[in-house]
Amino acid sequence: MSYGDILTVSISAIAAGVPLVTFVYTLTLKARVELQIGEEIALHYTGNYAKVAEDLRMRLILRADFVFLNKGAQPAAMTGLYGTVWPRGSPQPDGPNLAWLQYEKTERDPGTSLGSAARYRSGSSGMVETTVIPGHKVVTARVRLYSQSRMVLSETDYMLKLKAADGSARKGGGSLNCWLHLSTEDVTDLAENGAERDGMIQARISLKKRMTARNDSGARLLNPRKFGGIVGRMFPSRHLQFDSGGRLRDL
């Protein structure tokens, strides 16, 4: 077989393979959800009312904007979003302690006129529901994750692991790892003023995303009981870091 024949056969094989690759990419790839988070995380607590069981007072509420990207061709059925938060340096809890319960909506206060200082109000706008993400499509949402029981932050550094639950995939959805750094003043302000009162948010702490993610021994940090230091050094994990921005001022 001559060089020209080999070249012709190769070109024909490539030409025949392109439609197959296109078919696989556009029609047959299983759903695969990738999780991304916005530039800000806001923290506050539920109310601290005597009529509510003590274990359900001061539940932590974490609000953030999320992007759910389905990189597969088949639809994804996202059934929930869960988080695990714990003090940095402590063992990771055995299971998630935050769950997506509500959407949140932010709008301009109609009492402020154009030209004056803008004020915004924010509140829950609906309960969580299964979200269908078509193949190769994106869904965005501003959501609130609630702790299952009372959770009052007492440290300044926390780890946050987020996981999207994809009911259409056996291996679940995408995940994301974050560091949260609060100041001592943030912790005190949340404890004293962070609880909702009469349906109003008294104070929220804003955490801003750093422009660059930090690399660290994620395997060891995320589960020090399971992984040794050598594994963490061999497989460093990329973490998004959120630093204190003080009290959220736009509400």
Domain range 31-247, CATH architecture: Sandwich (2.60)
What single-letter DSSP state applies at residue 185? H
| pLDDT at site 171 | 57
Query: Hey, where are the domains in the chain?
Result: 1-30, 31-247
The model's pTM is: 0.77
| pLDDT at site 244 | 95
Long-range CB contacts for residues 116-125, cutoff 8 Å, separation at least 24: 118/250, 119/250, 119/251, 120/250, 120/251, 121/251, 122/201, 122/251, 123/199, 123/201
10 Å Cβ neighbour count for 133? 22
**pLDDT winner (highest mean) among 26-30, 54-58, 93-97:** 93-97
More confident residue, 179 or 126: 179
Q: Is the pLDDT of residue 107 over 90?
A: no
Q: Is the pLDDT of residue 42 over 60?
A: yes
Give 3's pLDDT tier (boundaries 50, 70, 90): low
- 17-44 mean pLDDT: 72
Alpha helices in 24-145 (DSSP H): none
Quick: pLDDT tens for 128-147.
888 899 999 999 999 999 99
The pairing of beta strand 205-209 with beta strand 175-181: unpaired
CB 120 within 8 A of CB 108: yes
